[in-house]
Amino acid sequence: MRESSGHRTGSGFSNPVIPGFHPDPSVCRVGDDYYLACSSFEYFPGVPLFHSRDLVHWTQIGNALDRPGQLRLPPGAPASGGIYAPTLRHHDGRFWLIVTNVSSDGNVLFTATDPAGPWSDPIRLPGVHGIDPDLAWDDDGNCWCTTAGVGQVRIDPRTGEAFGPSRRLWSGTPGAKAPEAPHLYRIGDYWYLLIAEGGTERCHGVSIARGRMPTGPFEPCPDNPVLTHRGTDHPLQNTGHADLVQAPDASWWMVLLGVRPRGGSPGWHVLGRETLLVPVDWVDGWPVVGELSTDMPAPPWQLYPPPAVPALDDFDSDGLAPHWVSLRHRPPEDCTTGMRPGWLTLNARGGSLDDTDATFVGRRQEHLSCRVRALVDTAQGRGGLAVRLDEQHHYDVEASPGEVRVRARVGPLHAVVASRPTPAGPVVLRIEVAEVQSVDDARTGPDTIRVGIEEPDGTFVELTSLDGRYLSTEVAGGFTGRVLGMFASMGAVHFDWFEYVPVER
C-alpha cells in the first residue's frame, strides 16, 4: 500500500492532499473512516481508492476496477477516454460506486462490503444517460441518480432499472457552460444540489442550489459560485468538481480538484488535476467555503501522519502495488513478476508508446520536482523509462543491447534526440524532472526534464534536457496528468527495481 498525503506545514497541512493525477474526488465517511475515489480515464486498473482518518493523510487501499470483466477499455480507446467521475457512497451497509465508462459501457454501478475490495461485477444502467452520475437515497428508500446537465432519474441500484425518463433539475448559473459533477445531499431540512460549472479549465467553479424535495424545485444560492479561482493569480487554479463530507465533530469539509500551473504565460500544469481539501461553514442555510490555499490550518482533530513511503520497488512481491497502472488493460502474460524472480518482466505488444496497445507500467507523477531510476536488462528486447501524457506526448529513454536512445514525441513530431553506446549488461536509466524556479521570460516552461544513464559509480550522464511544457495539458489537451514508468517496445525487458524520489528545490 502507498501513502499519499498533504504533508504537515507547521501546525497545518498542504494542498493538494492527494497530489498528482487524482481528479474528480468523491468522498464518504463511515464512522471515523473516510474513503475517497478518483477518475482513472484510460488507465487500468481503474478508480483508485483511498482511506484516511483525518481527511489529510490518505493511503491507497486498492483500485475498484481491477478485473477485465469490470473495466472494458478497447485497445483503440482514446487517451482521456475510459472512466469518468465516480461517486462513492455508503448506504444500507454497503459501498456503492457509480461511474461512466465513455469508451464502452456507459454508466455502470459497483458494490462492495469492503472498499478495499473485491468490488462486484458491473451493474449496467442503460436508462441513465450523460456523465458524472451521482447516487442519493431518500427516507422512503428511493434511489435518485443525477447526471451532468443536470438531469435526474429514479433507479433500482441492485438491478440497474430506471423508472421513467430523466428530467431536468437545474442548469446552474445562467450563461455558465458545462453544469456537471452533480452531488445531491439531504442536510437538515433541505436537499442540496452541488455542481461544477464553467468548464474544467481556468473558469471552473462550484455552485449550489437547494429544495425541499430531492426532485426539486431548486433555488440557487445567492452567492454562487461558492468557490472559484477564475480571474485570479492564485497558485491553485481550475478549482471545481467538489464533494461534501461531515466529520465526526460535526464540522464540514469539501474535497475538490485543482491544478498547479507553473512557468510563464499562460501557465502549464503537468501533474493533472489533483485532490484538494477546504473547510466549509454553514450560514443562513448555505455553505460558505473557507479560503483555499496551498498551506492550510490543521483540522481540529488529531492528524495521523502515515509511515515513510518506500522510494524503491524491488518487485519481490507476487503482484504489483495498487499505484501501478497500465494502458487500457494488463494481460498477465505481458506484465509479470513470476518469470524472473525479483524482477518485473514486460513483454512488448505495440512497437512504441505511440501505440495505444503499448506495454507500459507506470505511476503518477506527484511532485513538481522528482527523480526516477530503474535497472533495466534488455538482453532479450528493447525498452526503458518514459514520461507519458498520452500517445502523442511522451519522452522516453530506451535501451537496447549496446545503445541507449532518447526519443521525444510531441504531436505529429517524433525523433531520436540523443543516443549513446553502452557496454553489455543491465543499465541504470534515469529521468530528472526539475520545476522552473524563476520566470525571466513569459514563454518560460513549467519544468525541465533531464534524461540519461548512470555510470557504475552512480554518476549521472545527461544525454539531453527537454522542455516540460510539451508534456502539459495546455499543450496536449485532455484530462489526465503525467505518468512515469517502464515500457517494452520489443521482446522481453526485465526491470530489477524502480525508484521514485521527490526532490526539494
Q: Residue 271: which domain range?
A: 2-297
Active site residue 403: no
Q: Is position 302 within any domain?
A: no
What distance in Å separates the CA atoms of residue 258 and residue 245, rounded to the nearest whole number? Answer: 18
Q: Is position 389 within any domain?
A: yes
> Length of the chain in residues, anyone?
505
Q: Are residues 44 and 160 in the same domain?
A: yes
Q: Are residues 383 and 256 in the same domain?
A: no
Phi-psi group of 171: left, alpha or beta (phi > 0 → left; psi -120 to 50 → alpha; rest → beta): alpha
Q: Are residues 249 and 345 in the same domain?
A: no
CATH number, domain containing residue 399: 2.60.120.200
What is the pLDDT, as a whole number, of residue 395? 98
Reading the block at residue 486, the C-alpha cell is 517502464
Q: Are residues 205 and 320 in the same domain?
A: no
Q: How many other C-beta atoms lie within 10 A of the C-beta of residue 504? A: 5
The per-residue pLDDT of the chain, averaged, comes to 95
Residue 303: which pLDDT band, with cuts at 50, 70 and 90?
confident
Q: Is the pLDDT of residue 2 over 60?
A: no
Place of cell 477516454: 81
What mean pLDDT comes out for the span 71-87? Answer: 95
Residue 307: which pLDDT band, with cuts at 50, 70 and 90?
low
pLDDT tens-digit readout, 221-251: 999 999 999 999 999 999 999 999 999 999 9
Residue 1: which pLDDT band, with cuts at 50, 70 and 90?
very low
Q: Is position 338 within any domain?
A: yes
Q: Are residues 262 and 188 in the same domain?
A: yes
Q: Is position 307 within any domain?
A: no
Please identify which of the residues 180, 197, 377, 396 carries the catalytic annotation: 180
DSSP per residue, 300-348: SS---PPPPPPSEE---SSS--TT-BEES---TTTEESSSSTTSEEEE-
Strands ordered across the beta sheet of 94-101 = 83-91, 94-101, 106-112, 123-124
> Which letter does DSSP use for residue 159 in this model?
T
Q: Is the pLDDT of residue 7 over 90?
A: no
Q: Are residues 498 and 353 in the same domain?
A: yes
Report the percentage of the chain scoring pLDDT > 90: 92
What distance in Å separates the CA atoms of residue 136 and residue 140, rounded to the nearest whole number? Answer: 12
What is the chain's alpha carbon radius of gyration, rounded to the nearest angstrom? 23
Place of cell 521527490: 502
Q: Is the pLDDT of residue 15 over 90?
A: yes
Residue 306: which pLDDT band, with cuts at 50, 70 and 90?
low
pLDDT tens-digit readout, 271-285: 999 999 999 999 999
What is the pLDDT, as a whole number, of residue 10? 53
Q: Is the pLDDT of residue 3 over 60?
A: no
Residue 75: which pLDDT band, with cuts at 50, 70 and 90?
confident
Q: Is position 50 within any domain?
A: yes
Q: Is position 79 within any domain?
A: yes
Q: Are residues 154 and 250 in the same domain?
A: yes
What mean pLDDT comes out for the span 176-190? Answer: 97
- Long-range interactions of 91-99: CB distance < 8 A, separation 24+: 91/135, 91/137, 92/137, 95/28, 95/35, 96/135, 96/157, 97/37, 97/47, 97/64, 98/125, 98/133, 98/134, 98/135, 98/145, 99/39, 99/46, 99/47, 99/65, 99/133
What is the pLDDT, as a whole number, of residue 304? 74
What distance in Å separates the CA atoms of residue 426 and residue 417, rounded to the nearest whole number? Answer: 22
Q: Is position 442 within any domain?
A: yes
The runs of H, that is alpha helices, within 422-502 are: 473-476
Place of cell 529513454: 397
Q: Are residues 142 and 22 in the same domain?
A: yes
Reading the block at residue 420, the C-alpha cell is 549513446
Q: How many structural domains does the chain have?
A: 2
Q: Are residues 154 and 293 in the same domain?
A: yes
What is the pLDDT, as a whole number, of residue 110? 98
Please say which residue of 265, 297, 329 terminates a domain: 297
Cα 411 from chain centroid (whole Å) = 23
Please say which residue of 297, 322, 349 terminates a domain: 297
Whether the link from the prior residue into 225 is cis, omega within 30° of 0, is yes
What is the pLDDT, as a whole number, of residue 166? 95
Q: How many other C-beta atoms lie within 10 A of the C-beta of residue 431? A: 23
Q: Are residues 272 and 415 in the same domain?
A: no
The dihedrals phi and psi of 294, each to the nearest 5 degrees, come to -70, -30
Please say which residue of 234, 267, 297 terminates a domain: 297
Active site residue 105: no
Q: Residue 271's closest CA among 287, 283, 260?
A: 260
DSSP per residue, 393-431: EEEEEEEETTEEEEEEEETTEEEEEEEEE--SS-EEEEE
CATH number, domain containing residue 43: 2.115.10.20
What distance in Å separates the CA atoms of residue 491 and residue 346, rounded to the nearest whole number? Answer: 8
Q: Is the pLDDT of residue 8 over 80?
A: no
Q: Residue 26's closest CA among 155, 150, 184, 171?
A: 184
Q: Is position 414 within any domain?
A: yes
Q: Are residues 433 and 487 in the same domain?
A: yes
Q: Is the pLDDT of residue 90 over 90?
A: yes
Q: Are residues 162 and 289 in the same domain?
A: yes
pLDDT tens-digit readout, 401-447: 999 999 999 999 999 999 999 988 999 999 999 999 999 899 999 99
Q: Is the pLDDT of residue 340 over 50?
A: yes
